[in-house]
């Protein structure tokens, strides 16, 4: 993923949150640093990762070479059948809110890439662990850790992160 794509991810996430507290919402950048790419091991990236209602997954990819299809069923997912998608994502940077429980299926619209493993199924649970713990009155002694490629974002930290990133980019010029 290029530096420009990373900047776009940060700026779009900041704009999405709009400076308000996001609670325990987690933004998952699919594939981590490499993004949605054939060199990414999306299956390893997603294994053991928890997705909850209210989270958002981000796909960063080269729109000139790739697009992403969201599919209806496990059968379409396993066979890489993109003939009847729920939706196609073609922008190169797509943020998809996980707004309901259940399984969602995403695949590369390029059949060869899909058959080579560039696909993701997301099992969306009811409520994030940190939110559930806070709802029960639990107080964490130290901040929760987040797996690589997942970023818990709060309004003020997003603005600070964007400002820092822009400052570093500006100073490098």
Give 151's Cβ-side CA count (13 Å radius).
Answer: 20
Alpha helices in 19-110 (DSSP H): 42-46, 74-79
144-155 tens-digit pLDDT: 444 445 455 555
Confidence (pTM): 0.64
Q: How far apart are CA 74 and CA 132, in angstroms?
A: 29
6-37 tens-digit pLDDT: 555 555 555 444 444 445 688 999 998 889 98
Q: How far apart are CA 29 and CA 27, in angstroms?
A: 7
132-173 tens-digit pLDDT: 433 433 333 333 444 445 455 555 455 545 555 555 555 555
Q: How high is the pLDDT of residue 60?
A: 94
SS3 167: helix
Please tell me which residue, 49 or 139, carries the higher pLDDT value. 49
CATH architecture of 3-132+148-172: Sandwich (2.60)
Domain ranges of the chain: 3-132+148-172
54-105 tens-digit pLDDT: 999 999 999 999 999 999 999 999 999 999 999 999 999 999 999 999 999 9
């Amino acid at each position: 993923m290029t530096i420009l794509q990373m900047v776009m991810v940060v700026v779009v996430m900041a704009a999405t949150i709009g400076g308000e507290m996001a609670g325990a919402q987690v933004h998952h950048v699919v594939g981590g640093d490499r993004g949605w790419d054939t060199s990414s091991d999306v299956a390893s990236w997603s294994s053991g990762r928890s997705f909850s209602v209210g989270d958002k997954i981000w796909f960063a990819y080269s729109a000139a070479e790739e697009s992403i299809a969201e599919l209806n069923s496990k059968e379409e997912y396993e066979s890489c059948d993109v003939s009847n998608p729920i939706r196609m994502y073609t922008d190169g940077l797509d943020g998809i809110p996980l707004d309901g429980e259940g399984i969602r299926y995403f695949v590369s619209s390029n059949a060869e890439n899909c058959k080579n493993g560039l696909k993701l199924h997301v099992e969306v649970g009811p409520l994030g662990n940190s939110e559930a713990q806070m709802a029960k009155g639990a107080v964490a002694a130290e901040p929760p850790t987040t797996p690589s490629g997942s970023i818990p974002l709060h309004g003020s930290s997003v603005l600070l992160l964007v400002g820092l990133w822009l400052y570093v980019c500006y100073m490098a010029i």
